[in-house]
Chain A
Amino acid sequence: ILNVEQSPQSLHVQEGDSTNFTCSFPSSNFYALHWYRWETAKSPEALFVMTLNGDEKKKGRISATLNTKEGYSYLYIKGSQPEDSATYLCAYVTTSGTYKYIFGTGTRLKVLA
């Protein structure tokens, strides 16, 4: 059974704070790691797809890093804003079989104004 874990499960931060979350995944048979942001009653929104060890991606105030050898990815949010409040999901894809996502349980972020 492939296990993808995210931590913390939830957190509250003040507006302006920077924060980060972790996604841990099996280091063997790695193909890709996706990050999504999911706001309540909306569609999950694709943030990043990461494939190479050492990858760093950035989109505005959000960035992500990838370490495939040790099996983890970090998502960073700089200067959190209330509109960043959402659940952040990571999804792992293996080299074997179809391109189906194996999701973590998500990190629920609440940014307090």
Chain B
Amino acid sequence: GAGVSQTPSNKVTEKGKYVELRCDPISGHTALYWYRQSLGQGPEFLIYFQGTGAADDSGLPNDRFFAVRPEGSVSTLKIQRTERGDSAVYLCASSFGSKETQYFGPGTRLLVL
């Protein structure tokens, strides 16, 4: 079956602009996670959804970052007033339940100039 997909695969933007990153999880997976991998680091947790609600958003770095999952399937990560330090690979993962192995998408590579 289809795996987790993310769009766009690459995004180049200018400092101060707004970006949206999309994640399509595996059908039927109720849990969805966003992670961010900066250069030279391992992926870091951003936010976790169980169904439509954000069950844990403790990893969001500041209020410029926001994520939604309005129908419990597709999720969008939104970044306002982008900064050069936001440049990273943004990974999305989904799992069938909340304590299951997570399946990852290929990531969106964001470059803020």
Which residues does A use to contact B, with CB under 8 Å? 4, 6, 34, 36, 41-44, 46, 49, 89, 97-106
Q: Does A101 lie within 8 Å of B40, measured CB to CB? A: no
Q: Does B56 lie within 8 Å of A41, measured CB to CB? A: no
Which residues does B use to contact A, with CB under 8 Å? 3-4, 31, 33, 35, 40-45, 48, 55-56, 59, 91, 95, 98-107
9 A-B residue contacts at CB 8 Å?
A34-B102, A41-B106, A43-B4, A43-B106, A44-B104, A98-B55, A100-B48, A101-B45, A101-B102
Q: How far does the Cβ of A33 sit from chain B's closest Cβ, in whole Å?
A: 12
Most buried by B among A43, A89, A102: A43
Q: Does B42 lie within 8 Å of A103, measured CB to CB? A: yes
Q: Does B35 lie within 8 Å of A49, measured CB to CB? A: no
Specify which chain A residues have a CB less than 8 angstroms from the CB of B40 in the assembled complex.
Answer: 105
